[in-house]
Amino acid sequence: MKSLRTIALKEAQNRVSPEVKAPSNRISEFFGVNVFDKKKMKDFLSKEVFEKLVSAIDQGELINHEDANQIATAMKSWAMGKGATHYTHWFQPLTGTTAEKHDAFFEPSSDGAIEKFAGSALVQQEPDASSFPNGGIRNTFEARGYTAWDPSSPAFIMESKAGKTLCIPTVFVSYTGEALDYKAPLLKALAAMDKAAVDVCQYFDKSITKVNASLGIEQEYFLVDLALHNARPDLALTGRALFGHMSAKGQQLEDHYFGSIPERVFTYMVDFENEALKLGIPLKTRHNEVAPSQFECAPIYEEINLAIDHNQLLMDLMEKVALRHNFKVLLHEKPYAGINGSGKHNNWSLITDTGKNLLAPGKTPKNNLMFLTFFVNTVKAVHEHADLLRASIASVSNDHRLGANEAPPAIISIFLGQQLNEVLDEIEHSRISKKIKEDNALWLGIPKIPQILLDNTDRNRTSPFAFTGNKFELRAVGSSANSSAPMTVLNAIVADQLTKFKVDVDKLIKKGEKKDIALLTVIKKYIKESKDIRFEGNGYSQEWADEAERRGLANIKTTPLALDAYVSEKSTELFTKTNIFSKRELHARHEILLENYYKKLQIEARVIGEVSNSMIIPAVIAYQNSLIENAKGLKDLGVSADIPTGIINKLTEHLTIVKNSVDAMLEARKQVNAVEDTREKAIGYDEKVKSHFDNIRYHADKLEQIVDDSVWPLPKFRELLFMK
Ligand code: ADP
Ligand code: MG
pLDDT digits (tens, 9 = 90+) for 677-693: 999 999 999 999 999 99
pLDDT for position 445: 60
Q: Is 594 left (phi over 0), alpha (psi -120 to 50) or beta?
A: alpha
Please list the alpha-helical segments (H only) found in 45-125: 47-59, 65-81, 119-123
DSSP state of 478: B
Q: Which of 409-423, 434-448, 625-639 has the highest mean pLDDT?
A: 625-639
Residue-averaged pLDDT of the chain: 92
What residues does each domain of the chain span? 31-181, 190-581, 595-722
pLDDT at 161: 86
Do residues 172 and 145 lie in contact, with contact meaning Cβ atoms separated by under 8 Å? yes
Q: Is 377 in the pocket of ligand 1 (CB under 6 A)?
A: no
User: Residue 419 — very low, low, confident or very high, per pLDDT cuts 50/70/90?
Assistant: confident
Say if pTM beats, i.e. exceeds, 0.85. Answer: yes
Per-residue confidence (pLDDT) for residue 112, from 0 to 100: 82
What's the pLDDT score for residue 441?
A: 47
CA 300 to ligand 1 center in whole angstroms: 7
The CA-based angle 516-522-528, given to 5 degrees, is 135
The stretch 193-218 carries a mean pLDDT of: 97
Q: What fold is seen in the domain 190-581?
A: Creatine Kinase; Chain A, domain 2 (3.30.590)
Stretch 659-687: mean pLDDT: 97
- Residue 581 near residue 571 (C-beta atoms within 8 A): no
Question: Cα 149–152–154 angle (5° rounding)?
Answer: 80
Looking at residue 458, its pLDDT comes to 53
Q: Ligand 1: which of 211, 212, 218 to mutate, judged by most atoms within 8 Å of the beta carbon?
A: 218
460 alpha carbon – ligand 2 mean position (Å): 10
- Answer whether residue 700 shows pLDDT above 50: yes
pLDDT of residue 436: 47
Q: 272 φ, ψ to 5°?
A: -75, -30
Is pLDDT of 585 > 50?
A: yes
Q: Across-strand partners of 465? A: 414, 474
CA 281 to centroid of ligand 2, rounded, Å: 18
Q: Which residues, listed in sequence order, are joined to residue 148 by a DSSP beta bridge?
A: 124, 171
Question: Is the predicted pLDDT of residue 264 greater than 60, yes or no?
Answer: yes
181 lines ligand 1 (CB under 6 A): no
Chosen CATH of 31-181 out of 3.40.109.10, 3.40.50.1970, 3.20.20.140, 3.10.20.70: 3.10.20.70
If phi over 0 gives left and psi between -120 and 50 gives alpha, with beta otherwise, what is residue 24?
Answer: beta
Q: What atom in ligand 1 is closest to the CA of residue 301?
A: 16
**Ligand 1 atom index nearest CA of 298:** 14
CB-CB contact of 571 with 550 (8 Å): no
Q: What is the pLDDT of residue 138?
A: 57
Q: What is the mean pLDDT of residues 199-213?
A: 97
Residue 211 φ/ψ, nearest 5 degrees: -125, 125
User: Which of 26-35, 103-112, 403-412 shows the highest mean pLDDT?
Assistant: 26-35
Residue range 439-464: mean pLDDT, rounded:
62
Whether the per-residue pLDDT at 454 is higher than 70: the answer is no
Determine whether the shortest distance from the Cβ of 456 to ligand 1 is under 6 A: no
Q: Which value, to the nearest 10 degrees, does the dihedral of the CA atoms of residues 347, 352, 354, 358 take?
A: -70
Provide the H-helix boundaries in 399-480.
418-429, 439-442
Question: Got the DSSP string for 303-368?
Answer: EHHHHHHHHHHHHHHHHHHHHHTTEEEE--S-SSTTS---B--EEEEEEETTS-BTTSPPSSHHHH
When mean pLDDT is compared across 434-448, 464-478, 585-599, the lowest value belongs to 434-448
Q: What is the tens place of the pLDDT at every residue in 68-82?
A: 999 999 999 999 999
DSSP string across 557-609: -SHHHHGGGGGSHHHHHHHHHTTS--HHHHHHHHHHHHHHHHHHHHHHHHHHH
Predicted confidence at residue 552, as pLDDT, reads 93
**How many angstroms separate the alpha carbon of residue 287 from the centre of ligand 1?**
15
Q: Model confidence over 333-348: pLDDT tens digits?
A: 999 999 999 999 999 9
Q: Whose CA is nearest to atom 8 of ligand 1?
A: 218
pLDDT classification of 140: cutoffs 50, 70, 90: very low
Tell me which CATH code domain 595-722 carries: 1.20.120.1560
Does residue 349 have its Cβ closer than 6 Å to ligand 1? yes
Whether residue 467 has its Cβ less than 6 Å from ligand 1: no
pLDDT at 444 over 80: no
Q: How far apart are CA 214 and CA 193, in angstroms?
A: 12
Average pLDDT over residues 543-564: 94
358-382 CB burial, b ≥16 within 10 A, e <16:
bbbbbeebbbbbbbbbbbbbbbbbb
* Banded pLDDT at 470 (limits 50, 70, 90): very high
Q: Is 118 in the pocket of ligand 1 (CB under 6 A)?
A: no
Give one DSSP letter per residue of 628-696, joined into a string: HHHHHHHHHTT---HHHHHHHHHHHHHHHHHHHHHHHHHHHHHHHHT--SHHHHHHHIIIIIHHHHHHH
Cβ(170) – ligand 1 distance below 6 Å: no
3-state secondary structure of 217: strand
CB 268 within 8 A of CB 322: yes
Find the ligand nearest to 483 CA.
1
Weakest-pLDDT range from 21-25, 127-131, 671-675: 127-131
Beta-carbon contacts of 707 under 8 Å, excluding residues fewer than 6 positions away, are: 619, 620, 623, 651
Q: Are strands 163-174 and 84-91 parallel, antiparallel or unpaired?
A: parallel
**What value does the mean pLDDT take over residues 605-634?**
97
pLDDT of residue 438: 47
Q: What is the mean pLDDT of residues 698-719?
A: 96
Lowest mean pLDDT among 133-147, 171-185, 672-686: 133-147
User: In angstroms, what is the C-alpha Rg of the chain?
Assistant: 28
Instruction: Tell the burial category of 688 from Cβ atoms under 10 Å away from its Cβ (0-12, 13-18, 19+).
Output: middle
**CA dist., res. 148 & res. 105, Å (int):** 18
At residue 60, the pLDDT reads: 80
Query: Is any atom of ligand 1 closer than 6 Å to the C-beta of 356?
Result: no
How many angstroms separate the CA atoms of 193 and 196, rounded?
A: 5
Q: Decide: 347 in ligand 1 pocket, CB within 6 A.
A: yes
Taking the CA atoms of residue 600, residue 601, residue 604 and residue 606 in that order, the dihedral angle to the nearest 10 degrees is -110
Instruction: Report pLDDT for 453.
Output: 57
Ligand 1 neighbourhood includes 301 CB (under 6 angstroms): yes
Give the whole-number percent of the chain exceeding pLDDT 70.
94
